């Protein structure tokens, strides 16, 4: 049987059955009874419950962060990066307070302080993560928060979209620094990074997509690459231009389960970063290749066709973030 105790205007329910202990606090006795009935039924049916779930005034915000990191994050494709972000949040003294003391005022103070340390986009990403954690805690774990405080504060403004273009000269400088001749199959890590950069410029594929597709995903005769899982969770087929096919034809075919590009995303990023700095192109990022390719596609295709290639669901984001046309070329179209 569940034990329900009225305390300080709230109702605390405790359950101990079949070696499992659960507890939570609710505003009304009816809420406590419903929750107790549901939890006891799950225990009696031997459904998978954690051995001990204690949700009360002793629970800190960091406890919630840790639980999310250990139980929810591992199910995500971006688990490693999310784990690092959560561990960083757990080291922040601002979150040592009890969960019921996490208010919108606390989050607003944290946001403002964080904005003095990192870029607004980073703060926005962290707030999105914190909000997701709190939503899960409220909806799934019975944490007694009346509302999600992150949703009650203003989000940092989005920075102006990057408008960096990658010229042919830029490409050649970086590729040369990476020691690839663009005529023979890449063999070293640096050469594979150069190949990946050229492929991104020809296809608008993301770094992770380039580093993950296999020979079984490549359909050269049909002129496309099949991506089974992309950043937004959908599959997509990336059409291959003559330039893209020429690059891929330089490679020696392997078994279907072998990745086509023999470099990991992290190694690609670090190697590319060193090469661009070495040639004085610090402002260029690998992701700018996706923007450059998208802009070039937009000169030939309609927005829906471009979105089909890039995988964008939001045409407005595609236009504002990735489409950066040359004003001189647009001027010529006016005459």
Supply the residues annotated as catalytic. Answer: 206, 231, 312, 322
Q: Which helix (H) or strand (E) holds 317?
A: helix 315-317
**Angle (deg, nearest 10), helices 79-90 and 61-71:** 160
User: Three-state DSSP class for 214?
Assistant: strand
DSSP 8-state code for residue 320: I
Question: Beta strands 52-54 and 20-26: pairing type?
Answer: parallel
User: Three-state DSSP class for 236?
Assistant: strand
What is d(CA 35, CA 126) in angstroms, rounded to the nearest whole number?
Answer: 31
What is d(CA 290, CA 322) in angstroms, rounded to the nearest whole number?
Answer: 8
Residue 238: beta bridge partners? 225
Of the candidates 22, 104, 94, 88, the one whose C-alpha atom is nearest the C-alpha of residue 61 is 94
The overall longest dimension of the chain from CA atoms, in Å, is: 82
What is d(CA 169, CA 151) in angstroms, rounded to the nearest whole number?
Answer: 46
Contacts of 320 (CB under 8 A, 6+ apart): 161
Task: Extract the runs of DSSP E, i.e. beta strands, from 52-164.
Answer: 52-54
């Amino acid at each position: 049987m569940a034990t329900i105790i009225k305390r300080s205007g709230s109702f605390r329910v405790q359950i101990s059955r079949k070696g499992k202990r659960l507890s939570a606090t609710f505003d009304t006795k009816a809420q406590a009874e419903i929750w107790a009935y549901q939890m006891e039924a799950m225990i009696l049916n031997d459904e998978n419950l954690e051995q001990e779930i204690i949700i009360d005034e002793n629970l800190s915000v960091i406890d919630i962060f840790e639980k999310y990191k250990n139980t929810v994050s591992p199910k995500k494709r971006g688990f490693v990066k999310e784990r690092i972000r959560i561990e960083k949040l757990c080291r922040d003294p601002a979150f040592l307070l009890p969960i019921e003391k996490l208010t919108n005022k606390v989050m607003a103070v944290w946001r403002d302080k964080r904005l003095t340390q990192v870029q607004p986009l980073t703060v926005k990403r962290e707030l999105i993560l914190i909000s997701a954690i709190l939503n899960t805690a409220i909806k799934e774990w019975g944490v007694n928060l009346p509302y999600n405080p992150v949703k009650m504060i203003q989000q940092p403004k989005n920075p102006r979209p990057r408008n960096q273009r990658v010229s042919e000269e830029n490409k050649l400088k970086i590729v040369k620094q990476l020691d690839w001749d663009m005529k023979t199959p890449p063999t070293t890590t640096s050469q594979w990074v150069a190949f990946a950069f050229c492929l991104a410029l020809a296809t608008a594929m993301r770094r992770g997509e380039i580093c993950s597709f296999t020979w079984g995903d490549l359909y050269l005769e049909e002129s496309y690459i099949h991506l089974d899982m992309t950043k937004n969770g959908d599959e997509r087929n990336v059409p291959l231009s003559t330039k893209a096919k020429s690059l891929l034809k330089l490679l020696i075919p392997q078994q279907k389960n072998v990745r086509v590009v023999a470099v990991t995303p992290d190694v690609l990023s670090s190697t590319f970063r060193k090469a661009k700095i070495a040639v004085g192109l610090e402002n260029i990022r690998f992701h700018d290749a996706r923007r450059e390719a998208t802009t070039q596609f937009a000169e030939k295709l309609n927005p829906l066709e471009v979105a089909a290639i890039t995988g964008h669901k939001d045409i407005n984001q595609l236009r504002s973030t990735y489409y950066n046309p040359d004003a001189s070329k647009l001027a010529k179209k006016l005459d």
